[in-house]
Amino acid sequence: MTKKIFVTRPIVPDAIDKLKSFFQVEVWNETTPPPKSVLIEKSVECDAFMIEANDPIDSDVINAAKNLKIVSTRAVGYDNIDLSYATSKGILIGNTPGILHESCADFAMGLILTLGRRISYSHYNVLKGNWKVFDQTPYLGNDIHGKTLGLLGVGMIGSAVAKRASGFNMKIIYHSRSRKIDLENQLGLIWKSSLDDMLQEADYVSVHVPLNDDTKKIIGKRELDLMKSDSFLINTSRGGTIDQLALTNALKTHQISGAALDVTDPEPIAHDDPLVSMENVIITPHISSASAATLRNMGIMAADNIINFFTEGKMLACLNPELLS
């Protein structure tokens, strides 16, 4: 085929090679995102984009598009894409669900363990040469087993975290838009119809919601004030779901005991941001899905969305499937 595909990062060579076996492919060979001006330029030239989660596909890019028929993101979330406007312009949007949830759940559980038991803090002190004698008292942490985990959202990732937490004999409560009776029966989850009730009871609160108008800053000052002073907040969803200034203040005043953030707002977080230097905060560079296998499989699925559309008129995952008909 003579279709031209623009790939915004070179991070999944197998996916790029697969696209090249069908199409003419141009790759932005940088680890940083292409400037918006480049996206606009390529939207004029290309038939499809394969993008990353931080590439903005907004009205400017969409309006410039002449031949663009499909954008396939190597992600599940699509808050970087103006989905409704793309749909109005007839541009298909694909994503990669059903792949990253187990890796993300592993990572979220790892953050809970690391935060509660102060693992990274202890390791840092060993590296700094501060381990002079056998004295555990500077590193006392909180148990995970038998504690209460509050899940904000129990989609594929949240429910996978619940399965792991059940192995630690945690009491698992959750708040979501709809009640998940099957998970309650399977894992003993307890539904909280009120987010406030969940926040007041949980020892660990883990956020697993997409970023949209309803969830932007869903955890703010009011919500943080409801949490227990010895509780912890974990976020592996999107940075914008938490009011970061309110979180900073809550940590400074010991309103909560600590936080683990795989996502921040903005990303990357500034090196001089107060959160970076807090001993009760763990920040990782948006890597919860970054196992080697998961990264590759998401890339292949993003490529297959494009290949299948142009060869068969189908997609493995489409966020606006009404356009396929």
Instruction: Tell me: do 82 and 111 sit in the same domain.
Output: no
The yes-or-no answer on residue 118 being catalytic is no
Instruction: Tell me: do 56 and 112 sit in the same domain.
Output: no
Summarised one tens digit per residue, pLDDT across range 230-286 is 999 999 999 999 999 999 999 999 999 999 999 999 999 999 999 999 999 999 999
The yes-or-no answer on residue 26 being catalytic is no
* pLDDT greater than 90 at residue 313: yes
Instruction: Provide the 8-state DSSP code for 232.
Output: E
Mean pLDDT of the chain: 97
Is residue 47 packed enough to be buried (19+ CB in 10 Å), middle (13-18) or exposed (0-12)?
buried
Stretch 3-30: mean pLDDT: 98
* pLDDT greater than 90 at residue 1: no
Summarised one tens digit per residue, pLDDT across range 189-242 is 999 999 999 999 999 999 999 999 999 999 999 999 999 999 999 999 999 999
Instruction: Tell me: do 119 and 238 sit in the same domain.
Output: yes
Instruction: Tell me: do 273 and 301 sit in the same domain.
Output: no
Summarised one tens digit per residue, pLDDT across range 282-298 is 999 999 999 999 999 99
Token readout for 85 is 């406007």
3-state secondary structure of 307: helix
**Which candidate in 238, 296, 312, 322 is catalytic?**
238
Of all residues in the chain, the percent with pLDDT exceeding 90 is: 99
Instruction: Tell me: do 79 and 66 sit in the same domain.
Output: yes
Give the gyration radius of the chain's Cα atoms: 21
Task: Determine how many CB atoms are found less than 10 A away from the CB of residue 312.
Answer: 8
Stretch 99-110: mean pLDDT: 98
Instruction: Tell me: do 220 and 302 sit in the same domain.
Output: no
Instruction: Provide the 8-state DSSP code for 139.
Output: G
Instruction: Tell me: do 129 and 266 sit in the same domain.
Output: yes
* Whole-number pLDDT of residue 97: 97
- What's the CATH code of the domain at 57? 3.40.50.720
Instruction: Tell me: do 53 and 92 sit in the same domain.
Output: yes
Instruction: Tell me: do 155 and 276 sit in the same domain.
Output: yes
**Which candidate in 179, 286, 296, 322 is catalytic?**
286
Domain total of the chain: 2
Q: Which of 155, 268, 273 is nearest to 206 (CA)?
A: 155
Range of the domain at 254: 101-283
Token readout for 190 is 């307890």
Summarised one tens digit per residue, pLDDT across range 169-180 is 999 999 999 999
Residue 325 pLDDT class (50, 70, 90 cuts): confident
The yes-or-no answer on residue 74 being catalytic is no
Are residues 92 and 323 in contact, defined by beta-carbon separation less than 8 angstroms?
Answer: yes
Instruction: Tell me: do 107 and 198 sit in the same domain.
Output: yes
**Which candidate in 267, 279, 296, 322 is catalytic?**
267
Cα distances (Å, whole numbers) of residue 164 to 15, 137, 159, 181? 31, 29, 9, 18
* pLDDT greater than 80 at residue 133: yes
Instruction: Tell me: do 113 and 242 sit in the same domain.
Output: yes
Instruction: Tell me: do 150 and 176 sit in the same domain.
Output: yes
Summarised one tens digit per residue, pLDDT across range 30-57 is 999 999 999 999 999 999 999 999 999 9
